[in-house]
Protein backbone atom coordinates (compact mmCIF):
# COMPACT_ATOMS: atom_id res chain seq x y z
CA UNK A 1 0.00 0.00 0.00
CA UNK A 2 1.18 3.54 -0.72
CA UNK A 3 -0.10 7.07 -0.20
CA UNK A 4 -1.43 8.10 -3.63
CA UNK A 5 -3.50 11.25 -2.96
CA UNK A 6 -3.85 14.10 -0.52
CA UNK A 7 -7.34 15.46 -1.29
CA UNK A 8 -7.89 19.03 -0.14
CA UNK A 9 -11.46 20.30 -0.01
CA UNK A 10 -11.80 23.89 -1.25
CA UNK A 11 -14.48 26.59 -1.23
CA UNK A 12 -13.34 28.17 -4.52
CA UNK A 13 -11.76 25.83 -7.07
CA UNK A 14 -10.40 28.60 -9.32
CA UNK A 15 -8.79 30.46 -6.41
CA UNK A 16 -7.33 27.22 -5.02
CA UNK A 17 -5.89 26.28 -8.43
CA UNK A 18 -4.36 29.73 -8.83
CA UNK A 19 -2.80 29.55 -5.35
CA UNK A 20 -1.27 26.10 -5.79
CA UNK A 21 -0.16 26.71 -9.41
CA UNK A 22 0.84 30.40 -9.42
CA UNK A 23 1.81 31.12 -5.81
CA UNK A 24 3.29 27.76 -4.80
CA UNK A 25 4.47 26.81 -8.30
CA UNK A 26 3.06 23.28 -8.41
CA UNK A 27 2.60 21.83 -11.93
CA UNK A 28 -1.10 21.46 -12.76
CA UNK A 29 -1.85 17.98 -14.13
CA UNK A 30 -5.61 18.24 -14.66
CA UNK A 31 -8.32 20.81 -13.98
CA UNK A 32 -12.12 20.62 -13.74
CA UNK A 33 -14.81 22.25 -11.58
CA UNK A 34 -15.10 19.07 -9.49
CA UNK A 35 -11.58 17.58 -9.39
CA UNK A 36 -8.16 19.05 -10.13
CA UNK A 37 -4.72 17.49 -9.68
CA UNK A 38 -1.15 18.71 -9.20
CA UNK A 39 2.05 16.75 -9.78
CA UNK A 40 3.99 16.52 -6.53
CA UNK A 41 6.11 13.41 -7.00
CA UNK A 42 4.72 10.03 -6.02
CA UNK A 43 1.72 11.53 -4.23
CA UNK A 44 -0.82 13.66 -6.11
CA UNK A 45 -2.40 16.73 -4.56
CA UNK A 46 -6.07 16.74 -5.58
CA UNK A 47 -8.56 19.55 -5.03
CA UNK A 48 -12.27 18.80 -4.59
CA UNK A 49 -15.17 21.16 -3.79
CA UNK A 50 -15.96 21.45 -0.08
CA UNK A 51 -19.27 20.23 1.34
CA UNK A 52 -21.02 19.96 4.70
CA UNK A 53 -19.33 16.58 5.16
CA UNK A 54 -15.90 17.87 4.03
CA UNK A 55 -15.51 21.56 4.93
CA UNK A 56 -13.08 23.87 3.13
CA UNK A 57 -9.51 23.31 4.29
CA UNK A 58 -10.04 19.72 5.39
CA UNK A 59 -7.91 16.97 3.86
CA UNK A 60 -8.56 13.31 3.09
CA UNK A 61 -5.78 10.82 2.44
CA UNK A 62 -6.10 8.38 -0.44
CA UNK A 63 -4.07 5.16 -0.44
CA UNK A 64 -3.54 2.71 -3.29
CA UNK A 65 -2.82 -1.01 -3.49
CA UNK A 66 -2.39 -3.55 -6.28
CA UNK A 67 -5.02 -5.98 -4.89
CA UNK A 68 -7.79 -4.17 -3.04
CA UNK A 69 -9.88 -7.25 -2.26
CA UNK A 70 -6.91 -9.01 -0.65
CA UNK A 71 -5.85 -5.95 1.36
CA UNK A 72 -9.46 -5.36 2.44
CA UNK A 73 -9.73 -8.93 3.79
CA UNK A 74 -6.34 -8.73 5.55
CA UNK A 75 -6.96 -5.35 7.16
CA UNK A 76 -10.52 -6.18 8.16
CA UNK A 77 -9.10 -9.21 9.97
CA UNK A 78 -6.76 -6.75 11.76
CA UNK A 79 -9.84 -4.77 12.88
CA UNK A 80 -9.54 -1.87 10.44
CA UNK A 81 -13.02 -0.31 10.30
CA UNK A 82 -14.26 0.00 6.71
CA UNK A 83 -17.06 2.49 6.07
CA UNK A 84 -17.38 1.21 2.48
CA UNK A 85 -16.26 -2.18 1.15
CA UNK A 86 -14.51 -2.31 -2.24
CA UNK A 87 -16.89 -1.10 -4.98
CA UNK A 88 -16.43 0.06 -8.56
CA UNK A 89 -16.56 3.84 -8.62
CA UNK A 90 -15.31 6.44 -11.12
CA UNK A 91 -13.66 3.77 -13.28
CA UNK A 92 -11.75 2.05 -10.48
CA UNK A 93 -12.34 -0.02 -7.36
CA UNK A 94 -12.46 2.03 -4.12
CA UNK A 95 -13.00 1.25 -0.43
CA UNK A 96 -13.19 3.68 2.50
CA UNK A 97 -12.01 3.23 6.06
CA UNK A 98 -11.75 5.14 9.33
CA UNK A 99 -8.29 6.44 10.20
CA UNK A 100 -6.65 6.71 13.61
CA UNK A 101 -8.30 10.08 14.39
CA UNK A 102 -11.77 9.08 13.14
CA UNK A 103 -11.24 10.63 9.70
CA UNK A 104 -12.39 8.92 6.52
CA UNK A 105 -9.65 7.66 4.17
CA UNK A 106 -9.98 6.14 0.74
CA UNK A 107 -8.22 3.07 -0.62
CA UNK A 108 -8.09 2.46 -4.36
CA UNK A 109 -6.77 -0.26 -6.59
CA UNK A 110 -4.13 0.51 -9.15
pLDDT digits (tens, 9 = 90+) for 7-29: 999 999 999 999 999 999 999 99
- 63/4 Cα distance (integer angstroms): 5
Paired strand residues for 93: 88
Is 98 among the domain residues? yes
Residues near 47 by Cβ (< 8 Å), separated by ≥ 6? 7, 8, 9, 10, 13, 16, 17, 20, 35, 36, 37, 38
Give the total number of structural domains in the chain. Answer: 2
Last-in-domain residue among 14, 33, 54? 54
DSSP 8-class letter at 15: H
Both 37 and 81 in one domain: the answer is no
pLDDT tens-place string over residues 16-66: 999 999 999 999 999 999 999 999 999 999 999 999 999 999 999 999 999
Mean per-residue pLDDT, 74-94: 92
- Domain range for residue 88? 66-110
* Distance (Å, whole) CA 23 – CA 29: 16
pTM for the model: 0.87
Same domain? 45 vs 90: no
Q: Does 60 fall in a domain?
A: no
Amino acid sequence: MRLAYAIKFVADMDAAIAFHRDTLGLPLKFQSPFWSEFSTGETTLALHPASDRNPAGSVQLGYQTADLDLLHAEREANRLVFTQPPVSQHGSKIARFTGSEGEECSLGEG
